[in-house]
Amino acid sequence: MHEVFQKSLWPLVPQPFASVAQGFDSVLRHVTDRQKASALPAAKASASASAAARRPGWRGREDKQVGLYLRNARLARHGTHRWMLRIAIVSCVVLPEPDLDEPLLVAALRARGTEPEVVAWDDVHVDYTRFDVAVLRSTWNYHLDREGFVAWAERTSRRTRLFADPATVRWNSDKAYLRELEQRGIPVVPTEHVPRGSEAELREIVQRRGWSRVVVKPRVSAGSFETHAYRVADLVGGELAVHARERDVMVQPYVASVDGEGERAIVCIEGTPTHAVRKSPRFTGQEESVSVMPIAEDERALAHRVLATQPAPPLYARVDLARESDGSLVLMELELVEPSLFFAQHPPALALFCHALLARARCGPDR
């Protein structure tokens, strides 16, 4: 069989698939050697059998590999070859909470003929050169080592195509981006940025701003990590120093509408809003509660304005909005790295996400 390949098939293999043919040649050589080994004296055959026994299932993998190489060689010859994409769904070693999107995404990608695999960004043993593309999903512990996470994104992008790209990861993983968006004309929830180690008093900030209730959260955060609400009447002093002792933090007014109308999370695929959910207020230790809501026209318009600030439409995004007392909208967060996309609440968005991801992975530009 090895000789047949060398004489008959090798000349037909196009140059771009030479590596495939070389691998096929190696497999056939191995099969031929095993066939020759079966004709050896009994003692050597016994030793060969013992070696095979130490590799259970090898023959089955061998047969499948030969079949795969033959199929790829035929497709390459006829110009219809298309690789089965290997996709890394990037999570973390220990999830702080279940990722409800993950099983739906994995099943949908498998149904489309790809090979998705859930991996962890903080697992140093993952070889990303095995994948054609990697897509960030539930990396929900990055805030514990943001610089390490950004460095990981930069390394990984040199080994495979990564969505989101390292520049986006660095920019969007620190909520200081809200200042930049505000400077570009986006209505952002009023925010006081408090540097690490500050001894500023929360009472002074709320009195100066005229707020009666506030939220304190880290600038680098995921989920509801270290997010707390305070009423002015309950302040005794020193609260802000506790939060700023180890990290940069932000102070924002508590937007009253989130208790009734809720915060609106506008999910976008390829820069286009697909659906929205109402998110109830969530603080440290609480679970997320969501329900599907229609997208109002002003919400859709603001989502487009926010995404227009990016260099190119992102593969996925979530634009979190809330209404002020006068009915106007403000941006709470723009999530471009690891947002929940609530596929269970709107399955068509899952199909759009898969289509967009595969289009980019197969022939689209890095964006």
pLDDT given for residue 42 in this prediction: 38
pLDDT given for residue 289 in this prediction: 67
pLDDT given for residue 123 in this prediction: 98
Quick check: 253 and 213 in contact, CB under 8 A?
yes
pLDDT given for residue 285 in this prediction: 53
Please name the fold of domain 178-189+255-336: D-amino Acid Aminotransferase; Chain A, domain 1 (3.30.470)
pLDDT given for residue 291 in this prediction: 85
pLDDT given for residue 131 in this prediction: 97
pLDDT given for residue 19 in this prediction: 43
Q: What is the pLDDT of residues 307-319, one digit of tens each?
A: 999 999 999 999 9
Q: Residue 66 phi/psi, 5° resolution? A: -60, -45
How far, in Å, CA of 76 to CA of 82, rounded? 8
Domain residue spans in the chain?
2-77, 86-173+357-362, 178-189+255-336, 190-254
User: Which stretches within the chain are classed as H helix?
Assistant: 2-4, 18-37, 42-53, 58-77, 101-111, 146-157, 166-172, 177-183, 202-209, 239-244, 297-307, 347-362
Name the CATH architecture for the domain at 190-254: 2-Layer Sandwich (3.30)
pLDDT given for residue 247 in this prediction: 84
**What class has domain 86-173+357-362?**
alpha beta
- In eight-state DSSP terms, residue 188 is B
Q: What is the pLDDT of residues 176-200, one digit of tens each?
A: 999 999 999 999 999 999 888 887 8
Question: Could you tell me the pTM of the whole model?
Answer: 0.74
Q: What is the pLDDT along the chain (367 residues), one digit of tens a residue?
A: 545 444 444 444 444 444 444 444 443 454 444 444 334 333 433 333 333 333 333 333 334 334 434 433 433 333 334 468 999 999 999 999 999 999 999 999 999 999 999 999 999 999 999 999 999 999 999 999 999 999 999 999 999 999 999 999 999 999 999 999 999 999 999 999 988 888 788 888 888 998 989 899 999 887 777 788 888 777 777 777 777 788 899 999 999 888 888 899 999 999 999 999 998 765 545 566 678 999 999 999 999 999 999 999 999 999 999 999 999 999 999 999 999 999 999 999 999 999 999 999 986 445 4
